[in-house]
Amino acid sequence: MAIEFVSKSKLPTAFGDFEIIAFQDQSTGEEHIALAKGMDTISNQPILVRIHSECLTGDAFASLKCDCGPQLHSTMKMINDAGQGVILYLRQEGRGIGLTNKIRAYALQDQGHDTLEANLLLNLPADARKYDMCTIMLDYLKIKNVKLITNNPLKIKSLTDLGINVVERIPLKVGLNIFNKAYLETRNFPNTKELLMLA
């Protein structure tokens, strides 16, 4: 994977001032973003990191079907309060199946299927996300040790398998509402099926 740094800029937000850093996969044109704070004083101390896969419906449209938007915003606030950290915002919508397939899966969920069932009915993988770009992005930021903000133990394994040193997992439980309650309760139940659906 040929991920390269492209450009960076200051980015004032409702949750504080950040630096936005653009990376691009030179073979596919796919773009990924690091939203960073306090990177001027990097040491070997573990840094707050969230690996956040793009969710247009949740992040931009404030969908109540998921908890992605609240997770993103809570992480931005957490990093701003801590004074240091980074969000790797990966362009892999719908757990890697793409936006239109995600909407097709939504339509099946409207009929009573859960997320995993909907993906499988569409002959799509439960989770098609990849994380190998994270090694290059974290190397650019000189981050060696990570405190990973996630509810997903499988994400820790994916990063560890890539050689990223995850020293701590910080759970993030926000965004529960009447529209996603059943989804989140199912998602957080400890068996293989639901672990696949953790954020």
Binding residues for GTP: 50-54, 71, 93-95, 115, 150, 155
Instruction: With beta carbons less than 8 A apart as the criterion, state whether 87 and 54 touch.
Output: no
Q: Which of 148, 196, 151 is nearest to 172 (CA)?
A: 151
Active site residue 25: no
Question: Which amino acids are annotated as binding site, given as ranges?
Answer: 50-55, 66, 68, 71, 93-95, 115, 150, 155
**Segments in 51-98 forming alpha helices (H):** 68-82
What residue numbers does the annotated binding site for Zn(2+) cover? 55, 66, 68
Structure tokens at 164: 């990223």
Burial class (CB in 10 A: 0-12, 13-18, 19+), 41: exposed
Q: Is position 91 annotated as part of the catalytic site?
A: no
Catalytic residue among 114, 129, 139, 187: 129
Token digits of residue 59? 């992040």
Give the contacts of 66 (CB within 8 A, at least 6 positions apart): 55, 57, 58, 175, 180, 183, 199
Would you please indicate which residues are annotated as catalytic (active-site) residues? Answer: 127, 129
